[in-house]
Structure 1
Amino acid sequence: VRDGDPVEAGEALCDGTNDPHDVLEVLGENALQTFLVNEVQAIYRLQGVKIDDKHIGIIIRQMMRKVEIMEVGDTKFIYGQSVDKYSFNRENERIYREGGQPAVGRPLLLGITRASLNIESFISAASFQETTKVLTNAAIAGKVDELRG
């Protein structure tokens, strides 16, 4: 890049890979999903392995399933709380219907391990890692797993 060259937001100015959290913050969710799919595919292509994008997309969707509450509005959420994106949207739709102020959230990118352990199904989480801890916490909280998803 030279002095006076036009530069777009998110454009790489030096060699190396972009930080996924920076891609999310500057370019948004769709750009991050595209970036992650391309990065993962590049690794597999080097090994001569072909994987359909939809398989990688499923994993990325799970990694991006949470939002952090930035403004609570008239919702039941707490500032800084990490909530499921679908619960967030449902609650905001309810608040819209009632004429209230919806919450504002920012998308989160969780690592694969954290994303797998932070799902509503404790049986699914227990099958991934930290089985004893996940099942103990579920028992203490009196959780019931509806075996969905």
Structure 2
Amino acid sequence: MRLQQSLMSDGERNLFAAYFKAFRERMGPRLPALIPQVYLHYDPTVVKLLRGRLPLPRQRMDFLMLLPQRQRVVIEVDGKQHFSKDGQPSLDIYADMVSADRELRLAGYEIFRFGANETTRRDHVARLTAFFEQLFRANGIDPG
């Protein structure tokens, strides 16, 4: 309940609910952790990597998934704040986002982004379930 309260949008709530609805029983204790609202400056690996450099401009991630072999996956649900300012498209905001994505990749994170509309459509549960199944299989995990 507490984790659900930390979610900031319908899209995030839908992604979180779809994940556990589809996989909690199927995978049981093998289910990879999906942690919402993670601040990456607390990750010792990132702290080491960024020592002496500016911190990542986008340190709060919507979700962090922890996979076997220390694989870390960031999942973002992007609303208009990721590409616009005051209701207008902004190349600067978009450039900052993709720059931060590159920094995260170089720090060892894999990043997947969803448009908020993807996570609020009628078929969002099926779409999200298919994504997670593909992600698991690509990382050698049997989704059950």
TM-score by length of 1: 0.28
> 1 or 2 for the larger relative contact order (CA 8 Å, sep ≥6)?
2
TM-score by length of 2: 0.29
Tell me which protein shows more strand as a share of its residues: 2
